[in-house]
Every structure is written in structure tokens, then in C-alpha cells.
Structure 1
Amino acid sequence: MLKKIRIDPFVIAIIISIVLAYVFPQPGASGSPVPMDLISSLGISFIFFFYGLSLSSVAIKNGLKNWKLHVSVQASTFVLFPLLIVPFFPLVRNTSYELLWLAFLFMAALPSTVSSSVVMVAMAKGNLPGAIFNASISGIIGIVLTPLWMMPFIKQTDVAFDFSTIYLQLISEIVIPLALGLVLRRFLGAWAQKHKRTLNKFDKLIILLIIYKSFVQSFEDNIFSSVGLLEMLSMLGLVIILFVVVYSLTGWIGKLLKFNPADQITNQFCGTKKSLVHGTVFSEALFGQTSMVGIMLLPLMFYHALQILIISAIATKKGKKWIETKEEHVNLKDSNTVEDHHIK
């Protein structure tokens, strides 16, 4: 009997946001009295402020010991992913597909997720401290590396980008709030942990708001007129292929480095994830002054839904296998104890 496939409520909320952007664009349209840019900017700053408050210093200190795992995860996130996309640039350069390719590179250059990586590693009985460390540090590394991957290719587009303004925005909206959160963590860290669910809901609300605003702008400028159903299906197919390739490669790398089963799980789960939170935030900084934002988020939103669906299924299977193995071990131990008693 086939199991019911559970769709993440957040994925449904994203779809609703896009539909609202199309049928009810007034609040996010140009000239709207609603200060959407200001709300988004403040929301982004609060996301990273709360992120700084929530970082676990204990997990980071403990995590530093397992350096092979961390190098593998971060290399997969920031090197392997982009290197799988970059070689195709000559094929799309100066064609109508260049913008879609740029959207794939943007997705590939993003940090790993935080909450879902940790939750799913825990479900699969992987190395949880390693997952917390890598998920946390990935977002900080991405502030530097994601724009660096994008800069050479953005410069070759027809759109003018002021990188001094982009980095100033990254510093003011992300780096400073993050640093402030880290400084105040000793005073407000317990409060952030206590209200973690509420803060996660706030993060998702801001993400949905940015997605709504981005798609309103893209619909307004008719940016999707060149993206047909065939391109959408092709994009989905490429996202699936990319996930399978990276998941397989991270598995092979884990075996090559002789990771134990727990580290192997963390390496594959954290090394294949991409963060929608950072994607929406970075898209605002990199493409906020253009109408490209909506289309730049398309592969990422496909990937976000796919990674949750596939990894959650794998995590559930591995978790059940771990429990069954443990039960077999306990039963075997009890059986041996009984036999020893009879012998005596």
C-alpha cells in the first residue's frame, strides 16, 4: 500500500504567495502606499539578529573537532554545487537561457539550510552536533562566498549592478544584525531558545513577504513572458538531476573519507541542502534593484520543495532502520544473557 506523501505547509504557503502576487498585486506594486521595501529590509535584519542569538557556542566548540566532516560539507555546499553549474555557461551565453542559468548558479552558490538540516539529521540518527555546527557556520560563510560566485557572471549581463551598494546592504542588513545578535546572545540567548518556534514562524513570514514582493515586481515587468511550460518542466527536471548527482557524490566522498554512519548522514543531508531563507535575503541584495528577483528564485523554490520531500523520506527510512537495528541488538543481548544463565 502506497504511503501518503505529505506536502510541507510552507511549500503550499509559497505557492499561495505567488498566486496572490498575480491576482492581488496592489500592496507590492510600484507606487503602493505600503512600504514593502522597508518592511522587507527590517525583517531581514531581524532574521539575522535572531539567528545570532540562537547560535550555540557549545555546538560550535564541539563541532570544531570533527574538521574532516565540516570541510566536506562546506566544500559540497560552496564548491561542488557551483562547479556543477559553471561549465554550462558557454552553452547559454548570449542566449535567452542565460538568465535561467544564472538563477541555477545563484541557487548552487547559496548556504545550506539550518532548521530542516538539523531536524532531518536528528530523524535519521546522524551526527547532530556536526549538523548544528555546519548549518550554523554555512550561513556566515555564504555572506562572503555567495556574492563572490555571482559577481563574475552578473557583470556580463546587460543589467547594471553597483557592487559597493550591494556589499553595503549586506553589511547593514545581515552582518551588523548578526554580530549584534552574537554579542547579545549571553543575555537574550535563553529567550531566543524559548521562543524558537515563534521566531521560525517570523522567519517564514518575512520570506513569504519577500517572495510576494519579488513576484509582484516580476509580473509587473512581464519578466516571465519568456518562460513557458516547457522551460518550467525542464527546470524541475534539472533540479532533480542536480539533487541526485550531489547526493550521490557526497555519499561517495563520505565513503572515501571513511566517515562512520552518523557522519555519513550529516555529510549527505547538510551537503545537499540549499537555504530558501538566505536565497530570498541575498536575492534582495543582489537583484533587488531589478525585475529579475522572481525568476532568480524559481530553481531555488523547486529545489526547496524537492529537498524536503526526498530527504524527509530518506531520514524516516534511516531512522526506522536505526531503531530496528538497536532493537535487534537488545534482543540479541537479552538472548545471550538467558543462555549464559542456563549454562550456569
Structure 2
Amino acid sequence: MHIKFDKFIMAIIMVIIIAYVFPQWGTADSAVPINTISAIGISLIFFFYGVKLSPSKLKAGLSNWKLHLLIQTSTFLLFPLLVLIFRPLIEDEAQETIWLAFFFLAALPSTVSSSVVMVSIAKGNIPAAIFNASISGIIGIVLTPLWMGLFVHDAQTDFDFTAIYTKLIVQIILPVVVGMLMQRFLGDFVQRHSSKLTLFDKSIILLIIYKSFAESFSERLFSSVSVLDLLALFGGVLALFLMVFVTTGFFSKLLGFSIEDRITAQFCGTKKSLVHGTVFSKILFGNMAALGLILLPLMLFHASQIMIISAIASKYQKRQMLE
């Protein structure tokens, strides 16, 4: 079984190392305007996301409603409920922050690009994957802040729904709407330069990750995180992924899905978006010192889901070739 290691994961590791060695560039008193650059970058990411959204394809995808319902239920209900089970076990503030980080991961929408790519490799239902990955990002703009608003007060951060949704509207919803309106003019341009735009997206995400970890390192928030703690976090991430993967597989069989729909349900229903995660963390938590720690489970999950799903997709691909 061949597992391809993702270059973006390597880039994330390098950025975290840079943040550890040179944290001063990402602190509040830095001369580098990272907040301004990332805010503009976020708006551009979602502007081009809107350009890529095809209203006709979204309408066409509504017919397979059982598959869509399972994927979105897994993304926005099953994930959070599985993490909620462990909330009564919290004993101190450090555990509260770790639990909040896992809950933030659980409340996020599915990722678009890797979901579609992996479903394509595994010969699953590609139109359904495109529909669900796209609609998940839109639903997440509403549901993720609502989920987080239930518990984020305990994390000693200012969670003002009015301010947060104002930022969401200005930085995300408005650019998406403008992008969709400009689709007829820029659609071909975006398709031709898709790889360059993907590179731009990842560059902005890396910038946000750098600032988050730079601030956390400057505040020495990781001084109490040991190798055993990291292994425990990684184990928790794997357990969460496997529980959702098995559950979506079970219900896919129960609902009588075809192998193509089952692949799409399990691949899209177990993904979490690093793009939305880094963007939402900046909007929801602002300059919270523990932001690097909040993002840690998400990045571990991102690395895990790519490696595991790519291995499973390769296995499905080989099975298809033999048939």
C-alpha cells in the first residue's frame, strides 16, 4: 500500500520551525503587517472560491439527497457529538483548551479540493463530492461559529457574535457572492490558473499558521506540551477519524448506497478543511495567545486524513482496475 506524503504537510512543518526560531515577526508589535496581508488574502481566497462555484451544478446535485444528508450530518453533527462526549472529563484549564481545540476541529466544514481529488482517484461519485464539498463550506460559515459560541466563553476569549458575523460577512460571504456574480467573466481565467490559485491559497494559510504559532511560542504556551502529549493528541485525532469513517460506512450500507456513493460518503464525511480552520480561527479567536495550540489537532488531523484516505483511495483504484 503506497502512501504519498503531502508537500503541504512538509511546508506546514517548516513554517512551524520558522515560527519557533523567529517568533518576533509574528507578534503583535511586529513591523510586518501580517494581519493586514492575511485579511486581504482570506477575502481573495473566498472570492475565487465563489468564482469556482457553479449554481447550475449545485442545483443538479440536489437530487441525491440521502447521500448529501449523510455527509453533512457526519460533518456538522456526528463529529461535534463525538467530541462532546468527553467534555465531562475536563479537570483543568489546560484540558479545557485541548478539548476546545478538538471541538473546533469537529465543528469545521469539509475540505473541497482533497475530497474531490480522492473521490476521483477511488472512482467514487465525483459530482456528489463536488456538491457536498462546496455546500459544506457555505453551511460551515453559519454552523461553525454557532457550535463554537456554546463553549468558547470558557476559553477566556471575547466571543462577540455581532463582531464575528460582521467579519464573516465582510471577509467571506461578500467575497463569495461577488465571486459568483463574476463567474461568467472570470470562470475561464480561474480554471486556467487553478494551480497558481491553489498555491496562493496555501501561501495565505501558511502565513496564518506562522503567526498563530509565533504568538504561541513567544508566550511559551508549548513549554508544557511533551512528546507524550503530542502522541496522545495524534492518537485522539486518529480515533476521531476512524470512528467517523466506520460510522459513515455503516450507514452507507444501511441506506443501500452503491460503492461509488459509499466512497463519496466516507471520503467527504470524514474530511475537515484546514483552509476554513485557519481562517475561522483568526476570526473566532482573534489574537488569542493559545491559537497555535487550538490549531494543533486540526493540523494533525489534516496530515492523518490525507495519508489514510490516499492509501484507501489507492486500494479502491486497484480494485477498480482489476474488475
Distance 1:27 1:89, change over 3 A: same
CA offset at residue 4 of structure 1?
A: 5.6
CA offset at residue 267 of structure 1?
A: 0.3
Distance 1:4 1:129, change over 3 A: closer
Q: Secondary structure at the match of 2:182?
A: helix
Distance 2:11 2:294 in 1: 19
Counterpart of 1:297?
Answer: 295
CA offset at residue 128 of structure 1?
A: 0.3
Cα distance per residue 1:305-337 (max 9 Å; x no partner): 000001001001101111211xxxxxxxxxxxx
Distance 2:155 2:23 in 1: 28
AA in 2 matched with 1:265: I
Runs of 4+ deviating beyond 6 Å: none
CA offset at residue 137 of structure 1?
A: 0.5
Distance 2:49 2:308 in 1: 26
CA offset at residue 198 of structure 1?
A: 0.7
| Matched length | 323
Counterpart of 1:288?
Answer: 286
2:35 equivalent among 33, 37, 48: 37
Cα distance per residue 1:51-74 (max 9 Å; x no partner): 000112332122111111101100
Distance 1:288 1:68 in 2: 37
Distance 1:193 1:264 in 2: 29
Distance 1:295 1:133 in 2: 32
TM-score (normalised: structure 2): 0.97
CA offset at residue 29 of structure 1?
A: 2.3
1:56 maps onto 2:89 in alignment: no
Distance 1:221 1:168 in 2: 29
Superposed, 1:14-93 pairs within 5 Å as: 14-92=12-90
Counterpart of 1:164?
Answer: 162
CA offset at residue 163 of structure 1?
A: 2.6
Q: Secondary structure at the match of 1:156?
A: helix
C-alpha RMSD of matched pairs (Å): 1.2
Contact preservation (8 Å) 2:51, 2:186: yes
Distance 2:35 2:52 in 1: 26
Q: Secondary structure at the match of 1:259?
A: coil
- Where do 5+ consecutive residues of structure 2 fail to align? none
Distance 2:80 2:230 in 1: 21
Q: Secondary structure at the match of 2:63?
A: coil
AA in 2 matched with 1:75: T
Contact preservation (8 Å) 2:24, 2:218: no
Contact preservation (8 Å) 2:157, 2:285: no
Counterpart of 1:307?
Answer: 305
AA in 1 matched with 2:275: V
Q: Secondary structure at the match of 2:94?
A: coil
CA offset at residue 93 of structure 1?
A: 5.1
Percent identical across equivalent pairs? 57
Counterpart of 1:146?
Answer: 144
Distance 1:162 1:290 in 2: 14
CA offset at residue 95 of structure 1?
A: 4.2
Counterpart of 1:218?
Answer: 216
Structure with max Cα Rg: 1
- Where do 5+ consecutive residues of structure 1 fail to align? 326-344
Distance 1:163 1:112 in 2: 23
> More displaced, 273-282 or 87-96?
87-96
Counterpart of 1:240?
Answer: 238
Distance 1:89 1:48 in 2: 33
Distance 2:161 2:59 in 1: 34
AA in 2 matched with 1:87: I
CA offset at residue 6 of structure 1?
A: 2.6
AA in 1 matched with 2:56: V
Higher relative contact order (CA 8 A, sep 6+): 2
CA offset at residue 90 of structure 1?
A: 1.5
AA in 2 matched with 1:62: A
Distance 2:20 2:94 in 1: 23
Cα distance per residue 1:155-199 (max 9 Å; x no partner): 223333333222211111111111111111121111111111111
AA in 1 matched with 2:301: Y
Contact preservation (8 Å) 2:3, 2:311: no
CA offset at residue 30 of structure 1?
A: 2.5
Contact preservation (8 Å) 2:158, 2:285: no
Cα distance per residue 1:229-284 (max 9 Å; x no partner): 22111000011111111100000010111101100000000000000000000000
2:248 equivalent among 234, 238, 250: 250
Distance 2:192 2:64 in 1: 28
AA in 1 matched with 2:52: S
Cα distance per residue 1:116-141 (max 9 Å; x no partner): 00000000000000000000010000
Contact preservation (8 Å) 2:4, 2:310: no
